[in-house]
Each structure stands twice: as structure tokens, then as C-alpha cells.
Chain A
Amino acid sequence: MSTERLPISVLRHRFFPGRWDLVAFVLVFGALAFLAHSAVGLTHPLSRLTSESISLSPWALPDYAAQTALRMLVAMVASLVFTFTYATLAAKSRRAAAVLIPLLDILQSVPILGFSFTIVFFLSLTPGRAAGAEMAAVFLVFTSQAWNMAFSFYHSLRSIPAELDEAARAFHLGPWMRFWRLEVPFAMPALIWNMMMSMSGGWFFVVAAEAISVGNTTVTLPGIGSYIARAIAARDLGAIGWAVAAMTLVILIYDQVIFRPLIASADWFRLEQEARLTPTRSWALTMMRRSRLLAFGGNAFSGLVRLGFNRGSAPQHRWRPWRAGPRGRLGDVLWFTGVAALAGFVIWRTGQYILAHVTPLQVLHVVGLGGLTLLRVLVLIALASVIWVPIGVYIGLRPRVAAAIQPVAQFLAAFPANLLFPVAVSAIVTYKLNPNIWLSPLMILGTQWYILFNVIAGASSLSSELKEVGSNFRVRGWLWWRRIALPAIFPFYLTGAITAAGGSWNASIVAEVADWGHHHLVAAGLGAYIAQATAAGSFARTVLGIVVMSVIVVTLNRVLWRPLYARAERKYRIS
């Protein structure tokens, strides 16, 4: 067919490199060169990974920062692969979901550093090589990212609008085509948001995972985390300042190169059929869209995806995972009995193992420590709320200020607060303060921002009509807070508080114990207990600590946060 008949809009353009291609070229090949450089490091012998090999010179930082960033990227890719497979399996099989979803719920409540004992396992995979240590670090970061992404993707798959699902089936989309044409695009906006949240958590743990010891095994991977650890040992505040600066830069670059374009493109996948008035802008996305070099890569990928489109012709099965016919009942009974038996066995063995090493009295003691940490979390959330709610409302009601502050708050939430711990710890040591009290604020240092930026978002979403009603009827002062501001932000505030509380539990493992040179500070609490048990290589005590913390977190979610949230949804959402 002749090209003249094709409308202009679908004509293929000939390749002319433009200025965006230049930018893309530099970025792509720079990244490739760096990847090659880092890959060589994987084969280095493990013996070179000691803290002495870490240089405190600021000039070593760009390299360290790049390696830390690379670990994050690898972990993110792994999380995505996990998300796509795990969540898809759970969404398509009712029986799988009955196991996978509760499992995910538990995994999500396990404190991330509780996974650090896996280091020993990863090291054994590549004896004597650095690759195993790298894998362990990446795995730890992965555990801080994957669960909520998988949850979000699962939820999206379960809530695909009926008509789109029917259209996909009526037009014979095979499973593979359905995945790429319907499911992934539909899940995109929520997934991107969760990836950003995951990244924030990830930075925190990549720093913690680079320099870690489990029993006699100590690993120091070249990166910002190890740099900080070395700086702490050397009590070098200047070096810590450099590390903070480097981290800031890395996060900003990630934001510009990865997340801005993702958010901007997420608008594309939104189901709302109305065009948005103020689309998010991103220079990197413009580059990706305009650069033909990258377009070529994109086309190659979509060509690959398309190859599989006819695989498994029209799905004959009816995709109704939640409705069991009478036929499936027996299978269900067998399946769930098996699962229950297995779960019971695991619980029994774990209990047996723990009680073989720990006396019941000690278990009680650990529960008590859990209570202490719980007290800290609740008090800190309350304190942070008292401080940030009024400020957030103030900012949110002023669109200009909000536009300026919101990115800063999001950046602060992403910034790994553990980089700043040494500064606080050095102050505690210098002024001989009580660690039981003064180490506590560190737990919420990084997570309080979730409260702030959610409150800002809530206050900005308050409709101008409601605000006008307020002024029209002269609703002022405390009445204004009670009747207008607080109800309007409540669901948003809860989202922030839940995230902050979850993050604080995780942070407690790093925050309740701290070093500064030879000074070793400990605050009594469950986090400190887990950290010390891990460092001592006591597997039974570590598991006990993790189990207690998971149980507390799950219980808290069920009896406090979830009902509160449901109530807020019902009562305060303006729909």
C-alpha cells in the first residue's frame, strides 16, 4: 500500500538525530560504561570488603554513591519482576491468593532488617566472592520495596473495570497481550506511586545494608552506607556532611531521571477520561518521547512483547476466581486443609525452635520490650501530629506555598534519615543525655514527613466552596478546625500516620542502638533487642524478636489503623 494514503499522523519518520538524542546518547552510554565498571567489582574477593578499604576522602564519594544507586536500581528491577509474577499469580488463582495474600501481609509486617540473617545464605552461594554480599544487600533493599508494590498490583488486577475486562476477552486477547495491553497499563498509576514509596524506604535500608554484621560475618560493601559507618568509627563529622550531600544529589538525580518521567507518564494511564488541565512536566520524559534513539529501543521492546501476543489463543476459561462452583468445593477443602496443616507445622516448629533456646520468661521480657517500642512509636506519632498537622494545614491552604513545600516534604521523606543519626548521636554523647529518651526521636526523623505531605495534600484538596462556606458563615477558630479543617484532612492524615508508624517500627532497629566512635548507646526496646541479637549471631533470639514485632504490627493494623481508616473513608470522604 502506498504511503500517500496513510494519514500524516501515522507516517514513519526518517531518523534524524535531534538535540534530545544527544542528551539520550550521553545518558545511555554513560550508564552502560558505569554498569560494566561495577560488574567487575562483583568478582572481587570477599577479603577486600573490609571497612579499612573504605576511603573517607570526598573524592571517593561519587563512585560510592553510584554503586549505592545501582544497588537500588537492581533491587527495584527485582521488585518489579516479583510484583508482576507474584501478584498476577495471586490475582488469577483463588487458591493461590488464599495463601499468597496473607503471606504478603505477614512479610510486610516483618521488620526489614530482620531479613539480615539471610546474608549468611547469600555469601555461601558465591564462596569468597563479593557477589554474594552484593546479592544480600540487594535482597535487603528488595524486602523493603517489593511487598507494597505487589499489593498495589494485586489490588489493581482485582479492580479492572468489568467493561475493559470484557472488551479484552471479547476481542480475544491472549494472556500475554492482556497483561501488557490491559493489566500493566491499568495498574501503572498506583504502581508508580508505590514504587516511589518503596524507593523512600529503600534508601534507608540500602544505607543500613551496606555495612552489616551478622555474628562473625561482617560485610562492608563500597557505598555511601559503608562510608558513613567508617565515618562513625572515625568520629568524622565532616565526612558525614559530604555523605549527606552526595546522597541528596543521588536522590535528586533519581527523582529527575526516573520518577518525574514515571509520574508524568502515569497521567497517561489514568482511567479518568477527562484531559488533565495541568499535566506533570518532566524534561526526561520529553527526552524519551522526542529522542529517536530511545524510541528505537522502545519499539524494539514493544516488538518483543508483541511477538507473544497470540500465545495461548483466546482464553477459554472464564476468569471468575472468586466464585467457586459446587464442583470446586472438594478441591478447596483439600487445598485449604493442606495449607492450614503446613502453616500449623511451621508455627509449631518455629515455636519449638525458639523455646529450645529461650526461656518463657525471656519471651515475656521481649514482649515487654515490644511494649516499650510501641509506646515510643505512639508518643512520637502523637508529637509529630501535633507539630505537623497545623503546619500542613497552613501550607495546604496556600497553593503557592504548597507548590513550593510539597516537593521538599517528599524529598525529606525519601532521604535516608539514618545518615543524620551520627549527628544526633554525637550530640547525645557530648552532652551525656539519656539514650532511652533521646535516641527515640531518631525513629521518626525520616518518617514524620509522611504526615506532613499527606496533610498538605488533604488541605489542598479542600474545595474552595467549603472554604467559602466557612468564611460566609464566619466559622472561625477552634470551630473552624473541628468542623472544616480536621474532617477534611482526616483520611489523608491517617494515610500519613499509618505510613509513618510502619516506617518507625522498621527504623527502631537502627535507631535504638547507635555508635559514635567507641561509645555504644542503647535504648531499651524491641528494635535494640533485634539489632543486638543479629549482631551476636543468635538466630533464635532474632527470630523471637521478629515474631513479636510482626505480631504487634499486624495487631496494631487490625485493631487500630484499619477500623480507623474504614471509618474515615465512610464518614469524611467527599465523593
Chain B
Amino acid sequence: MNANPQIHAEPLLQVQGVGKSFWKSDGDEVVVLDDVSLTLRRGEIVGLLGRSGSGKSTLLRLIAGLDAPTQGAVRYLGAPVAGPAAGIAMVFQGFALFPWLTVLGNVQLGLEAMRMPEAQMRKRSLEAIDLIGLDGYESAYPRELSGGMRQRVGFARALVVHPNILLMDEPFSALDVLTAETLRTDFLELWSQGELPIGSVLLVTHNIEEAVQMCDRLLIFSTHPGRVVSEIPVDLPQPRGALDPAVRALVDRVYVEMTARPRIARAGQRAEPVAAVARIDMPLEHVSTNLLSGLIEAVSAPPYEGRADLPAIAQALHMEADDLFPVAEALQTLRLAEVEGGDIRLTDAGLAFARSETDERKNLFAHQLLAHVPLAAHVRHVLDERSAHLAPKSRFLDELEDYMTEQSAEQTLRALISWGRYAEIFAYDDQRQLFSLENPA
């Protein structure tokens, strides 16, 4: 069944109860990762899957020794990781190649740092370049290469040090679909044939299909804070075609797992009455209103008629899960749709929105926004109360920063401003950083 049937018993890596927090300037703590444990054995590919903000990249950096956990421990070959360990190599999302070094220079980097003799270094680098399909490009500079070729350099640079653990941080997400597919297939082929000088692989991704295709085991992360909510073994034979029914079934299952969690958190909130100041701390992610209406229209139209399978609609709209989730979640926040069990279902308001013309839509949107986003109601309330109907942005920013990071507060306000402008419930002047009720009209 498995391409690498001999998974050794001795763990390469043990992550035990790891947590990571950051301190804000005012001393408050923001928890990014909470009590995460995992074990990595020789010969397996493990996927870390989660939405953005689930801390999976942070976990990867803790394992790489690029950052220290605030709780728990990362053990590599039994010894705690303190700083980048020899034997752990990383492939980066944005390639992280040094533009002033040639392909060969980039690949040699890790060996040079080990102070390997010149001849041996060159031999090993050329072998890695050979293996990864970069023959003939040795003297090229990264800027002369296409994205796919650049990431091949990234792979060669990591392989050349013969790592026990290869960490991959969304290695294919900066590539176009076709290139990513080619690179993935090439990698899997080399891996199955046992040609890669690697012990095991830890892959961070938000692409569900990719995770199912590549990994022996998936760990699903929740967001805010990041926790492992479930573990899914993948016992399918390689190669796993994207259209294979077994693969599709598993992809569906992962969708269900990934959409299950946020739903529960929201359900608890809904029971309480809307009280403006008390609950303005809900972080908002900026999603363009064009996307919101686009998804509503797509779900309301045939063949979905108001209810759609998330993987299916993602495919139909050519969106990745990570692009689709924020949109679906924003609709859920505004009570224009409900997400459960891997499905999205429009609410009555959502269906009404789909049927309406521009002005009606704006009214409806304004109503949902004021009713279900406490921060919007709060801003509007403050503006109504003040005689000049003006309020500086900093006023709300300060309030939000009591509950969240500066960055997240900034992002939340940005989302609110964009939605508020569409709904025409207030105006905002970026030059003066001022909210107001006046519209140019």
C-alpha cells in the first residue's frame, strides 16, 4: 500500500506540548500555537494543514530552530532543538534564493557553511542539481529562471545537505497550477524510488488536494490559537490521481474536518445578545464585497440552488481552499450563509441578496453588517452620538488593541472600512484618518 512501507519505529522528531506566544508592546500575550504534539518517523511525509493564522508555519520555524517555543520542547533525535540543527533543511514558500549567487552557488550554500572541501562540495552539488533536473543551469542566476526552476534550486539546496528532515513551507503555493503539479509529481517520483537523500518530510500547506496527494499522514490545525484538531492517516497507493474517487472522498473528508471547528465557536456566540462594546473584539478578515457577491451568486445559481459542496464550488470557481474559506467565513459572519459539514448554504438574507439589485443589496448588506458585526454597530453608534459626527481612526484602533495584536486590529478596521463604505453606513477619509457620516453625495 504505502510507498515507503518500512517506517522505522525510532522517531526522528518529537514535538511535545509546544506553545508559542508573542508579546505585544503593552505586555499582553497573543497565543499563536497551543499545546501541539507530533511525532515524525523516518520514511514518512507528514502534512500540516490549516487555514492561514493557524500557526503551522510558526511550528515549522520552531522545528527548524529559527525560533524558540514559549512552552514545551522540540526534540530532534532525542536532543532538544536550540537553534538551527544540522540535519534539518528547509524549502521556502518564496524560494529564498540569493539573487547574487548562481544556481551552483545557491545549492552549495549549506555545504560551504559546513566547510566541506571544494572538490567534494562541487561533486555533491552537481549530483543534487542533476537529480532535481537542473542540469545545464549551473551558472544561471535565479532571475534568469522561471518560478518552477527557482523552486527546483530551492529543493536542490535543501537536498544537498542530505537532511534527516526536510521541512517544506508551502513550497508550491507561489507557482502556477501546472508548474506546481509537475514539481510535485517529480518530487513524489524521486521519493517513491528512494532516490532522495532525505529521512522524512514535514509539509506545510493549505492546499487540501496537495496534502492528500503527497502525505502519509495529515494533521489538521485550528485557528486562533493553532491546535491540532485531528489526525487523518492517508493509506492510498501512489500515484494518487486527483480524480481518483478514493482521493476525492478523502479531500471531502478533510474539507468537513476543516470547516467543522469555526462553526462550533460561532454557534456559542450566536446565543448571546448583540452588545456593542462587549464584543467588538471579533477579528475581521478583509474580503472584497465583489468576492462576497460573487460567491453568493454562484451558490444561488443552478446547479447549487442555495446549497453547495465546498470542494465542488472551489473547483468550479478555480479557487483554492485557502482563498475560499475566508469568503465563506465572511458570509457566515454576516449571516448571509452557513457553513457546515463541508457545505455552504445561503440563509434567507443571502438568498434575498442574490435576487436583489445594487441599491437593495446595499441596504441588505448594511442591515446585516449593523446587526451581526458589533464593531460596525459600535462605529456607527459613536458617529451618531457625536455632534460633529466625526471620529478618528485611532480611537477605534486603541479599543481593538485591547483585544488583539496591532496588526490584526489594523486589518479588522480595514475590513470594516471597506464593508462600511459598500454599505454606506459611514464614510472614511484616509488622508485625515477620520470616520464621518458625510458622503460626497
A residues whose Cβ falls under 8 Å from a Cβ of B: 1, 5-7, 9-10, 161, 163-164, 166-167, 169-174, 177, 181-182, 185, 188, 268-275, 306, 309-310, 314-318, 323, 325-326, 570-571
Contacts of A169 in B (CB 8 A): 65-66, 84
Q: With contacts A166-B90, A181-B109, A318-B67 known, is A273 near B96, CB below 8 A? A: no
**B67 lies within 8 A of A310 (CB):** no
**B92 lies within 8 A of A270 (CB):** no
Smallest CB gap from A7: residue in B: B138
Task: Kindly state the separation between the CA atoms of A125 and B136 in the bound complex, as whole angstroms.
Answer: 59
Q: With contacts A10-B104, A171-B89, A271-B99 known, is A316 near B109, CB below 8 A? A: no
Task: Kindly state the separation between the CA atoms of A177 and B113 in the bound complex, as whole angstroms.
Answer: 7
Task: Kindly state the separation between the CA atoms of A268 and B99 in the bound complex, as whole angstroms.
Answer: 8
Contacts of B142 in A (CB 8 A): 273
**A310 lies within 8 A of B98 (CB):** no
**A173 lies within 8 A of B109 (CB):** yes
Which of B61, B65, B92, B96 has the most A CB atoms < 10 Å from its CB? B96
B157 at the interface (CB under 8 A from A): yes
Which of A7, A170, A177, A272 has the most B CB atoms < 10 Å from its CB? A170
Q: With contacts A170-B89, A273-B150, A316-B83 known, is A10 near B138, CB below 8 A? A: yes
Give chain B interface residues in 119-142, CB to chain A under 8 Å: 119, 122-123, 126, 135-136, 138-139, 141-142
Q: With contacts A1-B123, A170-B90, A275-B143 known, is A7 near B136, CB below 8 A? A: yes
B residues whose Cβ falls under 8 Å from a Cβ of A: 23, 61, 64-68, 82-84, 86, 88-90, 92-101, 104, 109-110, 112-115, 119, 122-123, 126, 135-136, 138-139, 141-144, 150, 157, 161, 431
**Smallest CB-CB A-B distances: 7 pairs:** A9-B139, A167-B96, A316-B83, A163-B96, A171-B110, A310-B115, A185-B100
Task: Kindly state the separation between the CA atoms of A10 and B130 in the bound complex, as whole angstroms.
Answer: 14
Smallest CB gap from A316: residue in B: B83
> Other than the known A10-B126, A173-B109, what 14 A-B pairs have Cβ atoms closer than 8 Å?
A7-B135, A9-B138, A10-B122, A163-B96, A167-B97, A171-B157, A172-B110, A182-B98, A306-B112, A310-B115, A317-B83, A318-B66, A570-B431, A571-B431
**A273 lies within 8 A of B143 (CB):** yes
Task: Kindly state the separation between the CA atoms of A571 and B142 in the bound complex, as whole angstroms.
Answer: 34
Count how many pairs of residues, one from A and one from B, have CB atoms less than 8 Å apart in the complex. Answer: 112
Smallest CB gap from B109: residue in A: A171
Smallest CB gap from A177: residue in B: B113
**B143 lies within 8 A of A274 (CB):** yes
**A268 lies within 8 A of B100 (CB):** yes
What is the minimal beta-carbon distance from A526 to any residue of chain B, in angstroms? 36
What is the minimal beta-carbon distance from A488 to any residue of chain B, in angstroms? 18
Task: Kindly state the separation between the CA atoms of A186 and B65 in the bound complex, as whole angstroms.
Answer: 24
Pick the residue among A167, A272, A310, A325 that contacts B90 (CB under 8 A).
A167
**A309 lies within 8 A of B64 (CB):** no
Pick the residue among B66, B68, B98 that contacts A164 (CB under 8 A).
B98
**A10 lies within 8 A of B66 (CB):** no
**A170 lies within 8 A of B143 (CB):** no
Pick the residue among B83, B113, B143 that contacts A171 (CB under 8 A).
B113
Task: Kindly state the separation between the CA atoms of A326 and B90 in the bound complex, as whole angstroms.
Answer: 31
Task: Kindly state the separation between the CA atoms of A314 and B109 in the bound complex, as whole angstroms.
Answer: 13
Task: Kindly state the separation between the CA atoms of A476 and B88 in the bound complex, as whole angstroms.
Answer: 63
Task: Kindly state the separation between the CA atoms of A94 and B161 in the bound complex, as whole angstroms.
Answer: 33
What is the minimal beta-carbon distance from B152 to any residue of chain A, in angstroms? 15
List 27 A-B pairs, Cβ < 8 Å.
Answer: A1-B119, A5-B126, A7-B126, A7-B138, A161-B94, A163-B92, A163-B94, A163-B95, A166-B64, A167-B97, A167-B109, A170-B65, A170-B90, A171-B157, A172-B113, A173-B113, A174-B113, A181-B98, A181-B101, A185-B98, A271-B99, A273-B143, A306-B112, A309-B115, A314-B84, A314-B113, A570-B431
What is the minimal beta-carbon distance from B113 to any residue of chain A, in angstroms? 4
Contacts of B84 in A (CB 8 A): 169-172, 314
Q: With contacts A173-B109, A275-B144, A571-B431 known, is A314 near B93, CB below 8 A? A: no
Smallest CB gap from B137: residue in A: A9
Contacts of A170 in B (CB 8 A): 64-66, 84, 88-90
Contacts of A182 in B (CB 8 A): 98
Smallest CB gap from A267: residue in B: B143
Pick the residue among B96, B99, B110, B126 that contacts A6 (CB under 8 A).
B126
Task: Kindly state the separation between the CA atoms of A325 and B95 in the bound complex, as whole angstroms.
Answer: 31
Contacts of A268 in B (CB 8 A): 99-100, 141
Task: Kindly state the separation between the CA atoms of A5 and B23 in the bound complex, as whole angstroms.
Answer: 54
**B113 lies within 8 A of A316 (CB):** no
Contacts of A6 in B (CB 8 A): 122, 126
Contacts of B101 in A (CB 8 A): 181
Smallest CB gap from A567: residue in B: B431
Smallest CB gap from B83: residue in A: A316
Contacts of A326 in B (CB 8 A): 23
Contacts of B136 in A (CB 8 A): 7, 9
Contacts of B66 in A (CB 8 A): 166, 169-170, 318
Contacts of B113 in A (CB 8 A): 171-174, 177, 309-310, 314
Contacts of B431 in A (CB 8 A): 570-571
Task: Kindly state the separation between the CA atoms of A1 and B121 in the bound complex, as whole angstroms.
Answer: 12
Pick the residue among A171, A173, A271, A571 that contacts B161 (CB under 8 A).
A171
Task: Kindly state the separation between the CA atoms of A268 and B136 in the bound complex, as whole angstroms.
Answer: 21
Contacts of B112 in A (CB 8 A): 177, 306, 309
Pick the residue among A174, A271, A272, A315 that contacts B83 (CB under 8 A).
A315
Contacts of A306 in B (CB 8 A): 112
Smallest CB gap from B88: residue in A: A170
Which of A5, A163, A317, A325 has the most B CB atoms < 10 Å from its CB? A163
**A316 lies within 8 A of B82 (CB):** yes
Contacts of B141 in A (CB 8 A): 268
What is the minimal beta-carbon distance from B141 to any residue of chain A, in angstroms? 8
Task: Kindly state the separation between the CA atoms of A325 and B23 in the bound complex, as whole angstroms.
Answer: 8
Task: Kindly state the separation between the CA atoms of A274 and B143 in the bound complex, as whole angstroms.
Answer: 5
Contacts of A181 in B (CB 8 A): 98, 101, 109
Task: Kindly state the separation between the CA atoms of A167 and B93 in the bound complex, as whole angstroms.
Answer: 11
**A273 lies within 8 A of B92 (CB):** no
Task: Kindly state the separation between the CA atoms of A166 and B58 in the bound complex, as whole angstroms.
Answer: 12
Contacts of A177 in B (CB 8 A): 112-113
Task: Kindly state the separation between the CA atoms of A269 and B141 in the bound complex, as whole angstroms.
Answer: 11
Smallest CB gap from A182: residue in B: B98
Task: Kindly state the separation between the CA atoms of A571 and B430 in the bound complex, as whole angstroms.
Answer: 9
Pick the residue among B83, B99, B122, B126 that contacts A273 (CB under 8 A).
B99
Task: Kindly state the separation between the CA atoms of A149 and B245 in the bound complex, as whole angstroms.
Answer: 62
What is the minimal beta-carbon distance from B138 to any residue of chain A, in angstroms? 5
Task: Kindly state the separation between the CA atoms of A267 and B119 in the bound complex, as whole angstroms.
Answer: 31
Smallest CB gap from A571: residue in B: B431
Contacts of B23 in A (CB 8 A): 323, 325-326
Task: Kindly state the separation between the CA atoms of A163 and B142 in the bound complex, as whole angstroms.
Answer: 15
Contacts of B119 in A (CB 8 A): 1
What is the minimal beta-carbon distance from B135 to any residue of chain A, in angstroms? 7
Smallest CB gap from B119: residue in A: A1
What is the minimal beta-carbon distance from B165 to any residue of chain A, in angstroms? 11
Smallest CB gap from B113: residue in A: A172
Contacts of A5 in B (CB 8 A): 126
What is the minimal beta-carbon distance from B17 to any residue of chain A, in angstroms? 21
Contacts of A570 in B (CB 8 A): 431
Contacts of A188 in B (CB 8 A): 100
Contacts of B86 in A (CB 8 A): 172, 314
What is the minimal beta-carbon distance from B232 to any residue of chain A, in angstroms? 28
**A164 lies within 8 A of B150 (CB):** no
Task: Kindly state the separation between the CA atoms of A7 and B104 in the bound complex, as whole angstroms.
Answer: 11
Smallest CB gap from A188: residue in B: B100
Contacts of B64 in A (CB 8 A): 166, 170
What is the minimal beta-carbon distance from B172 to any residue of chain A, in angstroms? 15
**A172 lies within 8 A of B114 (CB):** yes
What is the minimal beta-carbon distance from A575 to any residue of chain B, in angstroms? 14
Task: Kindly state the separation between the CA atoms of A376 and B150 in the bound complex, as whole angstroms.
Answer: 55
Task: Kindly state the separation between the CA atoms of A274 and B145 in the bound complex, as whole angstroms.
Answer: 9
What is the minimal beta-carbon distance from A186 to any residue of chain B, in angstroms? 8
What is the minimal beta-carbon distance from B64 to any residue of chain A, in angstroms? 5
Contacts of B99 in A (CB 8 A): 268-271, 273
